[in-house]
Structure 1
Amino acid sequence: MTQQKVALVTGGNRGIGKEIVKKLIEKDNAVIFTYRSNAKEAEDLIAEFESTGIRIKALKLDVSKIEEFESFSESINLILNEWQVTGIDSLVNNAGIGFFVPFEEATAAQFDEMLNVHFKGPFFLTQKLLSSINDNASIVNISSTATRVALPGFSVYAAMKSAMETISLYQSKELGARKIRSNSILPGPVATDFSGGAVRDIEDINSRIAQQHALGRVGLPKDIASAVAFLCSEDSAWIDGQAIEVSGGYM
Structure 2
Amino acid sequence: MNALDGKVALVTGGGRGIGRAIAERFARDGAIVAITYARNSAAADELVEGIRARGGRAFAFQAELGTHGDAQRLWDAFDKEVAQYSSGGVDIIVNNAGEGLYQDLESMTEDAFDRVYAVNVRAPFFIVQQALPRLRDGGRIINIGSGVTRLAMPSIMGYGATKGAMDVFTLNLAELLGPRGVTANTIAPGIVDTDMNADWLRGNAEADEHWSERTALRRVGRPDDIADIAAFLASDDSRWVTAQVIDATGGTDL
Aligned length: 251
Which region of structure 1 is more displaced relative to structure 2, 76-85 or 59-68?
76-85
Match of 1:232 in 2: 234
Secondary structure of the equivalent of 2:221?
coil
Q: 1:100-122, CA deviations, whole angstroms, 9 ceiling, x for partnerless residues?
A: 11112211111101100110111
Which region of structure 1 is more displaced relative to structure 2, 63-72 or 21-30?
63-72
Match of 1:165 in 2: 167
Q: 1:59-112, CA deviations, whole angstroms, 9 ceiling, x for partnerless residues?
A: 101121231322321222233332124521110000012131111221111110
Match of 1:38 in 2: 40
The 8 Å contact of residues 71 and 123 in structure 2, kept in 1 or not, is answered as no
Match of 1:155 in 2: 157
Shift in Å, 1:49: 2.5
The 8 Å contact of residues 187 and 248 in structure 2, kept in 1 or not, is answered as yes
| Equivalent residues in 2 for 1:135-214, closer than 5 Å | 135-214=137-216
User: What is the rounded CA distance, in whole Å, between the counterparts of 1:51 and 1:195 in structure 2?
Assistant: 29
Unaligned residue ranges in structure 1 (runs of 5+): none
Q: 1:10-47, CA deviations, whole angstroms, 9 ceiling, x for partnerless residues?
A: 00000111001111111111100100001110111112
Match of 1:223 among 217, 222, 225: 225
Which region of structure 1 is more displaced relative to structure 2, 235-244 or 57-66?
57-66
Shift in Å, 1:52: 3.8
User: What is the rounded CA distance, in whole Å, between the counterparts of 1:216 and 1:200 in structure 2?
Assistant: 16
The 8 Å contact of residues 80 and 86 in structure 1, kept in 2 or not, is answered as yes
Match of 2:107 in 1: 105
Secondary structure of the equivalent of 2:26?
helix
RMSD: 1.7
Secondary structure of the equivalent of 1:121?
helix
Match of 2:96 in 1: 94
User: What is the rounded CA distance, in whole Å, between the counterparts of 1:49 and 1:117 in structure 2?
Assistant: 27
| Paired residue type of 1:248 | G
Match of 2:19 among 9, 12, 17: 17
Aligned-pair identity (%): 35
The 8 Å contact of residues 5 and 31 in structure 2, kept in 1 or not, is answered as no
The 8 Å contact of residues 89 and 134 in structure 2, kept in 1 or not, is answered as yes
Match of 2:6 in 1: 4
User: What is the rounded CA distance, in whole Å, between the counterparts of 2:74 and 2:103 in structure 1?
Assistant: 32
The 8 Å contact of residues 97 and 194 in structure 1, kept in 2 or not, is answered as no
Unaligned residue ranges in structure 2 (runs of 5+): none
The 8 Å contact of residues 5 and 29 in structure 2, kept in 1 or not, is answered as no
Which region of structure 1 is more displaced relative to structure 2, 21-30 or 75-84?
75-84
Secondary structure of the equivalent of 1:214?
coil
User: What is the rounded CA distance, in whole Å, between the counterparts of 2:7 and 2:112 in structure 1?
Assistant: 37
TM-score for the superposition, normalised by structure 1:
0.95
| Paired residue type of 2:164 | S
Match of 1:116 in 2: 118
The 8 Å contact of residues 79 and 88 in structure 2, kept in 1 or not, is answered as no
